[in-house]
Structure 1
Amino acid sequence: MRRLFYKPENAWVGDLIPYYENGTYYGFYLHDPRIRDKEYAEETTWHLIETKDFVNLDYKGESIARGGIHDANKNAYTGSVIKCEKDGLYHVFYTAYNEDFKLRGKTIQSVMQATGKNLENLETVKDFLFVSDGKQYEEFDWRDPFVFWNDEDQCYYMLLASRVTNRGDLRGGCIALCKSEDLINWTYEKPFYDPKMYITMECPELFKMGEYWYLVFSTFSDQFTTHYRISKNWNGPWEIPDDDVFDTRADYAIKTASDGKRRFAFGWIASKYGNTDFGPWEWGGTMNFHEIIQNSKNGELRIKAIPEVLDYFSKEIELKKETLYNCKMVQAQDGVSVESDTLGALLYPLEGDTFALDMVIKPERYHEFGIALHVDKELETGYFLRMNPKNQLVAWDMWPRGEQGRYQWQIKGDVPYQIETARKLPKAEEYRVHIIKEKDICVVYINDEIVLSTRMYNHKDGYAGIYVVQGDVKLIQYKEKRSE
């Protein structure tokens, strides 16, 4: 059966390395077979998909083979793609990793290069191995090379996830800089970005959009997410925007690609161990795409659904009779109002786990309001998108929140929502919400500004709708759609 969100058979999607050329987006990705339980990114190679619309994906197979057990590239990890005008070849720089290659008892990382006349046939350059200097930068974090041509400096730049030597474990991360004139010989330069904030900053990327430059990187220490920084210059200074992340913790290691007019985010929605809501997040998951839009006034970036992805669910379903929970429903000219003195909900029957929901919600008076998904009639089980403009917070909650303990109170009442899904809710008079649900994947877009991606394993079918705590909320639009 056709799937909107791509995952290879018997394997999982790791970091994506996007590239655009001549109307086609190339999505290289780390192919993780998960050969042993609770071990990730072992025997990893580069595989490739191609797409023009982010709905129809063409799998091309393995693009870069890994080395043998005695080679530095026993595992092939994240990197970047660049086309050299001089030799007409595509040059791919990627992270090589072999746990048996050690220095002072710690495993090192290095950079290798693959080349080819086309993107589907790339061969590793056997005599190219680029390692850290061990003086300015540690040897143990030397990965995710992002290579680009710098017009101003008239040479190639390589940005890497690295760490400054002789720093503490938690704040030593930096984005290293190396330079080259020929893509072969590289010099070590001062760090490109050194905020002294993180363990390391993975998957760095630099791009220009309009009048602004953007530095993108992912972290797993203070917050598990992909960040961005803004500047009017390619070399900074870099400003932290008010909302500096693209998505939730579930959608990690986001990188981008552009056709010169539109820019898209490529990431992966992590799976959870044991295929249960109560399991820990894993490394690797399922491919995910968003469109990035820019506020030209201040340069801040926003996320919206790709129109072609929304059009995938084109068949509108006739709604079945609604169910009310502890509320009064009042018909209005532009929708229905849901009123309750405590907790109330307006719910519509929902079948299956693959669909799209389009809602327009206008909060009039509330302590809290939000969206219920895959809930039962009594709101005892299911998922709740908790929306609170007063605190500018939106996050997923679920019941039950975990396995019931021995005592009645052991139900995780001290964890009021899934903190790793929390986003900053935009201020607005009404909220236009797109929910895309396919099997255990759920992606929510709000007002073409923010997105919340997550997994939902435990609950299916049931009901969907809106809820309110002490107040009244108007539901202006509610549409359920399925794919043809």
Structure 2
Amino acid sequence: MKGCDFIFYTPEDQYPGMPHGEMCGDIMPFYWEGRYILFFLYKYCIYAVETEDFVHYGNLRLVLQNGSPDEQDWHAATGSVFHHDGTFYFYYTGFCEGNRGVPGKYEQAVLRAVSTDLIHWTKDRDYFFPPDTRFYGDRHWRDPHVFWNPQLERFCMLITATEKDGAVLRDGCTAVYVSDDVKHWEHYQTIYSPRTFPTHECHDAFQMGDRWYLTFSNYSRWWETRYRSAMSFNGPWEMPDQDDMFDGREFYAAKTVTDGKKRYLVGWLSIRKDCRDDGRFVWGGNACVHELVQREDQTLGVRMVEAVRRSFRRKLPLQIHGYEGIWNLEERSQMSADTDSEQLTGISEDGFGWASLGELEDPCLFEATLRWKPGTKAVGLMIHASGEKLERWCQLRLELTHQKIVMDYYNRIDGDQSYIDERPVRFRDGEARVQLLVSGTIMQVYVDDVALTTRCYSVQSDLMGVFTEYGTVSCIQPRLMAR
């Protein structure tokens, strides 16, 4: 199966009624000799697909077949790949729901497979690492993540675990085991146990500069990937003041991978049940990749992968038309010599005003700088806009007084109780760089170094534009690009 080649990888097209397990989930990225190998869960087995740029993907291949209902890996699940001394080690989770509550058996255990070429894998039938009940609870025991720890000068394995006698649904913790040979492991300590979440799934730990970062995912509220930072691997692990997430509420199980120069965050974007805007978000979806950025204050942001941006080479014509408010287009000849494109300015002091910029293709990329005057309440983009009276639309809102970005939709009416996709942003200097990537049902937005990725099933393509509410916006150097 070829899978999807439109930026956001998935092994097959999504369709209404798609069963759990038939989607791409819990991606385990690994870099080797110029290529990124994305191991992922699919059909209760572990598969892999390769890419060199996060734009084009090869054919998927089976890595680990799941076992029988009587075997520990009835479902082969999340783990990590590590290379040492000529051998690739794949530590993964063996799920067997039928073992729950059975004396002497375990619902979850850490298992191991080995390879010499990343293609052919052999399960190590002699390796079995069940929950370590000396220190932890006996149920949640999964997602082993192995890495070299330069501070400890030993190999480390992070494990999703629970406190042995913790509070119900607040006992999630990060267990650490260490090794000198990537084969034999001993308990080190619990490095993070905030008594907040039921579990911390799909851990990762890495250094950027002089800081350590710990990432994990949690499903108790939304699908969410969070992070903490510390000066030492041993902690204390601090929560960022404003924002401890990398993307919206559908970006899950993200782990990092580096080529030695840049570090990328690879997770999956959930789909909605039956591919409907009013369906609940379910497990699994499309691969979603960001480049990690360390800010001056040591917090983390993200930006678009540069190879993804460069893959959009064909310039689409701008077709500007003002619908509400007063709009003025400054041509290149009227502007300064160092400006290579137009500037569209709109004024709508008594409410909402918008202008179209052109027609979307699938996929396409839009980029511009949005600038606003003091006192303006909101500016942003209209996406998938259609109808003589703007009957259908999606809207990226930069809510300036609230210091956040929001993705809103035309069909959120009549007391719709589904949550709004939003992210906190620190707007500075009265402007923001905005990028919008549209591919199928997916809309991915970057506002400076903050991302918000979400979906819309009911409307696709049509017009895009810019808007302002109770104020003035300028759209500077707009570019609409296709592949």
Scaled by the length of structure 1, what TM-score is found?
Answer: 0.89
Corresponding residue of 1:451: 451
User: Equivalents in 2 of 1:158, 1:2: separation in Å?
Assistant: 33
Whether the 8 Å CA contact 2:376–2:400 is kept in 1: the answer is no
Corresponding residue of 2:88: 90
Per-residue deviation, 1:222: 4.5
Q: Which runs of 5+ in 1 are unaligned?
A: 33-43, 403-409
Per-residue deviation, 1:380: 3.2
Corresponding residue of 2:18: none
Whether the 8 Å CA contact 2:223–2:251 is kept in 1: the answer is no
2:365 is equivalent to residue 356 of structure 1: yes
Corresponding residue of 1:26: 37
Corresponding residue of 2:321: 323
Corresponding residue of 2:443: 442
- Give the SS at the match of 2:12: coil
Deviation string 1:274-314 (CA, Å, 9 cap, x unpaired) is 1111111010001111111212x432211011111012211
Corresponding residue of 1:388: 399
Corresponding residue of 1:368: 378
RMSD in angstroms over aligned alpha carbons?
2.0
Structure with the bigger percentage of strand: 1
Whether the 8 Å CA contact 1:338–1:473 is kept in 2: the answer is yes
Corresponding residue of 2:7: 4
Per-residue deviation, 1:154: 4.5
Corresponding residue of 1:237: 236
For 1:374, give the aligned amino acid.
Answer: H
User: Equivalents in 1 of 2:308, 2:31: separation in Å?
Assistant: 19
Deviation string 1:388-427 (CA, Å, 9 cap, x unpaired) is 122111011101116xxxxxxx343x77xx43x2111231
Corresponding residue of 1:50: 50
Per-residue deviation, 1:362: 0.6
User: Equivalents in 2 of 1:264, 1:45: separation in Å?
Assistant: 24
Per-residue deviation, 1:347: 1.4
- Give the SS at the match of 1:460: coil
- Give the SS at the match of 2:309: helix
- Give the SS at the match of 2:308: helix
Corresponding residue of 2:304: 305
Change (3 A) 1:155 1:220: same
Whether the 8 Å CA contact 1:15–1:30 is kept in 2: the answer is yes
Corresponding residue of 2:19: none
User: Equivalents in 2 of 1:411, 1:215: separation in Å?
Assistant: 38
User: Equivalents in 1 of 2:216, 2:120: separation in Å?
Assistant: 28
For 1:392, give the aligned amino acid.
Answer: Q
Whether the 8 Å CA contact 1:352–1:460 is kept in 2: the answer is no
Equivalent residues in 2 for 1:55-134 (5 A)? 55-85=55-85, 88-103=86-101, 108-134=107-133
2:359 is equivalent to residue 344 of structure 1: no
Whether the 8 Å CA contact 2:155–2:182 is kept in 1: the answer is yes
- Give the SS at the match of 2:10: coil
User: Equivalents in 2 of 1:60, 1:463: separation in Å?
Assistant: 35
Whether the 8 Å CA contact 1:361–1:477 is kept in 2: the answer is no
Per-residue deviation, 1:178: 2.1
For 1:466, give the aligned amino acid.
Answer: V
Per-residue deviation, 1:437: 0.6
Scaled by the length of structure 2, what TM-score is found?
Answer: 0.89
Per-residue deviation, 1:152: 4.6
Per-residue deviation, 1:358: 1.4
Whether the 8 Å CA contact 1:389–1:426 is kept in 2: the answer is no
User: Equivalents in 2 of 1:358, 1:351: separation in Å?
Assistant: 13
User: Equivalents in 2 of 1:31, 1:248: separation in Å?
Assistant: 23
Give the aligned length.
456
Deviation string 1:48-73 (CA, Å, 9 cap, x unpaired) is 11222111222340112211121100
Whether the 8 Å CA contact 1:263–1:291 is kept in 2: the answer is yes
Per-residue deviation, 1:378: 2.6
Per-residue deviation, 1:336: 2.1
Per-residue deviation, 1:104: 5.9
Per-residue deviation, 1:317: 0.9
- Give the SS at the match of 2:298: coil
For 1:75, give the aligned amino acid.
Answer: H
Q: Which runs of 5+ in 2 are unaligned?
A: 14-21, 336-341
Corresponding residue of 1:175: 174
- Give the SS at the match of 1:138: coil
